[in-house]
Structure 1
Amino acid sequence: MARKYGESPKIVNAIAAHHEEVRAETILAPLVDAADALSGARPGARREMIETYVRRLEELERISNSFKGVEKSYAVQAGRELRIIVQAAQISDDEAASMARSVAKKVENEMAYPGQIKVTVIRETRAVEYAH
């Protein structure tokens, strides 16, 4: 629609890229994404009661924490994204990918929510050495 009405290519890209559906070409896209996340994250922004909003975040974290090897989980972006940090020593890369699918399926089966919820499993191993 923005393209149709003559908006600049930078604005068109910012609109299209703010949910990471297309590649951002300027700094405008992540700024629009951040503004959208902040706006959507405030209680009542999408006509939800605060109790329902908080309950959904808690339920998302409860579901993810029920899986073996989860160190911590965070429901972010007003509950539209779930980030799960796993213990690298307990969970392999393949298991992390499988866990993302399993958590998404469990969320689908146990919760009612508008739109979609992105599930990201983060597995990190760090090796540090010092040269003297």
Structure 2
Amino acid sequence: MKIDVSWELGRLLVHVADVATAIRLNSPYRSDYKDRDPREVGFDVLHLSDSLHCLDRLGRAIQSGDSKEIVTTCDALLSYYRMFTEGVQGRGTKGDPKASFERYKHLCHPQEAMAVFTDIRAKALALEGATA
């Protein structure tokens, strides 16, 4: 039996587009770009893009069709995304990932991605139970 996460992947694509829009606002596209603090701009691009580059792991897990791998990956992503919602203390992280997302809260919400990971995880667990 194969897991159907079409709805969740659609939600995740909306999140990806929202984050990409926030990243774009850290470019000359924004009228006040030259007046912004370059350090803040750099950290915002870093943290916003960090929230996206890790999604390949979820894609690979879904492609594998292995429900245990999907659950493990969702757990890892939920843990990773907490730095965007709760912040981090002394973990060698540059800047403040939570602050970057708070600056763009009108556009992107890491909680939405976390809800997607939770929903995919639940479907994978249900599939695991059905095939056991």
Please indicate the TM-score interval, normalised by the length of the shorter structure.
0.3 to 0.5
Where relative contact order (Cα < 8 A, 6+ residues apart) is larger, the structure is 2
User: Is the radius of gyration larger for structure 1 or structure 2?
Assistant: 1
Q: Which has the higher helix share?
A: 2
Normalized against structure 2, the TM-score is what?
0.35
